[in-house]
Amino acid sequence: MTDLTKLTAVEIAGLVAGGETSAVEVTRAHLDRIAAVEGRVHAFLHVDTEGALAAARAVDERRAAGEELGPLAGVPVAVKDVLTTKGVPTTVGSKILEGWRPPYDATIVQRLRAAGTVMLGKTNMDEFAMGSSTEYSAYGPSHNPWDLDRIPGGSGGGSSAAIAAYEAPLAIGSDTGGSIRQPGAVTGTVGAKPTYGGTSRYGLVAFSSSLDTPGPCARTVLDAALLHAAIGGHDPRDSTSIPQPVPDVVAAARLGATGDLTGVKLGVVTEFSGEGGEPGVMAAFRESVDALAKLGAEIVEISCPHFKYALPAYYLIAPSECSSNLARFDGVRFGLREGDDGNRSLEEVMSLTRDVGFGPEVKRRIMLGTYALSSGYYDAYYGQAQKVRTLITRDFTAAFEQVDALISPTTPFVAFPIGARTADPYQMYLADLYTIPANLYGGPGISVPCGLSEGLPVGLQVMAPTMADDRMYRVAAALESAVGTFTPPAL
Ligand code: GLN
């Protein structure tokens, strides 16, 4: 019998639509897989067994009634715990929201339900999406299925670990500085950050509102494109949502899969292709560039001189926005309330709640952001970082006058051992060296597996102009057709 957990989303949806299996069978297979491996992987913070089976039954009933099913009907999906789910616990990886059951679904979650996907549960993440390893989760780290002693990336490491471990074929992540793409790279899976505003932030617990972008994670480029199409598009409930349809990313992925990139011009980012990355990562990247050239792409070098300032600018802008966004967690409105014994003032209760409820990285960001925004320092830090953001956007604009898309490695290093980078925050921040520019600019970026370094996966990043998400899918699918997909050792 086919192992339903090893199939792609496209294959599962086909079997469900054709009546060769049921959504309930598919869901049970994944719940069994979760039960078998979760003790080692810890991808989930909450598994919604009852909700998943009910959603699956509803799909099977709709099929039995002869209703037309969408392209992802009956396909299980894991959702990063940063999105609100009605009645289902949502913690954002933080103690401060422990036990909170939101009264509403995020737009993305509503669209997943409408598409007939089956939400298996909520995945682990660095607290408030701040981190690159899931080690800053208040609920313990997730483990990389390629090597359980290593990190699965972050902040969305639960989502990437879940799909790499065959606990789910699809997952949702959110990318503020790389949290979809870097986990994808280090787990040998596909992760796409859509154009900012191309996917709704309604119900996405805010970290850095001008950067936060939810998006798809999958094991193949086509699966990611289908998920992207299902969740994307205008949402009147998000003031920065773009009132235009998402480009046809599914058609682009199919076109790319033919393996022909004739007429496509790709720019290798000079600043990200020399030193700075591990030799094994750079070697795999260079081999993939050759593979892309063999598919017909024209390859040129493009210098983006301001990209080297992206990391410091991000670590002023993102903490600044976070210090403002996280002010709402005060022990009054949501989740945890500490020390409310009738003898303490409201201020004391708020302060105690935030002291107990937030972990060290979140506190560090709040302090950094508060400092960067404070009077006397604002111009020197936050204001300066915004100017750098403009210069980075100009680098992108100039580059896209010459090439269709930019390519680079996704992250400078392969999955590192758990504990290796927690002592020095800067070492953790470096994981996003290559992904942050696209967030500051707002354009789309995708990580696609491109090879192995010492037995661990390496990702290649494709970056495209805003609202040209289809281009990156075409290039990624073409590379995938050349290098194949990567399967971790059996768990
Ligand atoms: N790792 C980066 C950070 O810690 C990016 C996080 C993200 O994209 N959510 O901020």
Predicted confidence at residue 274, as pLDDT, reads 79
Q: How far is the CA of 331 from the centre of ligand 1 (A)?
A: 25
Q: How far is the CA of 102 from the centre of ligand 1 (A)?
A: 24
pLDDT of 136 > 90? The answer is yes
Q: How far is the CA of 392 from the centre of ligand 1 (A)?
A: 18
Mean pLDDT of 92-101: 96
Ligand 1, closest atom to CA 211?
8
pLDDT bin (cut points 50, 70, 90) of residue 450 is very high
Predicted confidence at residue 332, as pLDDT, reads 87
| Closest Cα to atom 10 of ligand 1 | 130
Predicted confidence at residue 325, as pLDDT, reads 97
pLDDT tens-digit map of 243-289: 999 999 999 999 999 999 999 999 999 999 977 899 999 999 999 99
pLDDT of 71 > 90? The answer is yes
pLDDT bin (cut points 50, 70, 90) of residue 202 is very high
How confident is the prediction for the chain on average, in pLDDT?
97
Which of 99, 101, 130, 65 lies closest to 326 in space, CA to CA? 130
pLDDT bin (cut points 50, 70, 90) of residue 105 is very high
Predicted confidence at residue 180, as pLDDT, reads 98
The answer to pTM > 0.95 is yes
- CB of 433 within 6 A of ligand 1: the answer is no
- CB of 215 within 6 A of ligand 1: the answer is no
Predicted confidence at residue 144, as pLDDT, reads 98
Predicted confidence at residue 276, as pLDDT, reads 82
Ligand 1, closest atom to CA 174?
9
Q: From 3.20.20.70, 1.10.230.10, 3.30.70.260, 3.90.1300.10, which CATH number describes the 4-271+278-303+400-483 domain?
A: 3.90.1300.10
- CB of 183 within 6 A of ligand 1: the answer is no
pLDDT bin (cut points 50, 70, 90) of residue 334 is confident
Predicted confidence at residue 335, as pLDDT, reads 85
Compute the residue count for the chain: 491
- CB of 432 within 6 A of ligand 1: the answer is yes
Mean pLDDT of 455-473: 98
Q: How far is the CA of 240 from the centre of ligand 1 (A)?
A: 20
Which of 486, 430, 416, 434 lies closest to 457 in space, CA to CA? 486
Q: How far is the CA of 131 from the centre of ligand 1 (A)?
A: 5
- CB of 211 within 6 A of ligand 1: the answer is no
Q: How far is the CA of 366 from the centre of ligand 1 (A)?
A: 14
- CB of 175 within 6 A of ligand 1: the answer is yes
Instruction: Match 């790279």 to its residue by tokens.
Output: 185
pLDDT tens-digit map of 341-383: 999 999 999 999 999 999 999 999 999 999 999 999 999 999 9
pLDDT tens-digit map of 140-160: 999 999 999 999 999 999 999
- CB of 135 within 6 A of ligand 1: the answer is no
Mean pLDDT of 63-68: 96
- Percent of the chain with pLDDT strictly greater than 70: 100
- CB of 235 within 6 A of ligand 1: the answer is no
pLDDT bin (cut points 50, 70, 90) of residue 475 is very high
Predicted confidence at residue 333, as pLDDT, reads 84
- CB of 131 within 6 A of ligand 1: the answer is yes
Mean pLDDT of 332-348: 92
Ligand 1, closest atom to CA 179?
8
pLDDT bin (cut points 50, 70, 90) of residue 295 is very high
Residue whose CB lies within 8 A of the most ligand 1 atoms, among 134, 136, 155, for a mutation test = 155
pLDDT bin (cut points 50, 70, 90) of residue 428 is very high
| Closest Cα to atom 5 of ligand 1 | 177
- CB of 155 within 6 A of ligand 1: the answer is yes
pLDDT bin (cut points 50, 70, 90) of residue 460 is very high
Residues with catalytic roles = 80, 155, 179
Residue whose CB lies within 8 A of the most ligand 1 atoms, among 179, 186, 199, 433, for a mutation test = 179
pLDDT of 340 > 80? The answer is yes
